[in-house]
Amino acid sequence: MEAYTSFAEVYDQFMDNVPYREWADFLQEILQKEGINDGLVLDLGCGTGSMTEELAGRGYDMIGVDNSEDMLEIAMEKRQESGHDILYLLQDMQEFELYGTVRAVVSVCDSVNYVTEKEELEQVFRLVNNYLDPGGIFVFDFNTEYKYREVLGDRTIAENREDSSFIWDNYYYEEEHMNEYELTLFIQEADQKELYHKYQETHFQRAYTLEEIRELLEKSGLRFVAAYEDYTKEAPGKGSERICVVAREQGK
**In a domain? residue 61:** yes
**In a domain? residue 1:** no
Same domain, 65 and 153: no
pLDDT on residue 6: 52
If one counts the domains in the chain, the total is 2
Same domain, 127 and 236: yes
Same domain, 171 and 214: no
pLDDT on residue 9: 62
Same domain, 112 and 232: yes
Distance from C-alpha of 74 to C-alpha of 77, rounded to nearest angstrom: 5
Q: Per residue in 168-203, is it b (16+ CB within 10 Å) or e — as a string?
A: bebebeeeebbbebebebbbbeeeeeeeeeebebeb
119 phi and psi angles, rounded to 5 deg = -65, -35
Does this model's pTM top 0.75? My answer is: yes
Question: Any idea what the CATH number is for the domain that residue 165 is in?
Answer: 2.20.25.110
Q: What order do you get walking across the sheet with 196-206 strand by strand?
A: 156-160, 164-173, 178-188, 196-206
**In a domain? residue 152:** yes
pLDDT on residue 211: 97
**In a domain? residue 234:** yes
pLDDT on residue 193: 72
pLDDT on residue 13: 67
Question: Any idea what the CATH number is for the domain that residue 132 is in?
Answer: 3.40.50.150
Spans of the chain, pLDDT less than 70: 1-16, 252
pLDDT on residue 252: 58
Domain of 167? Answer: 146-206
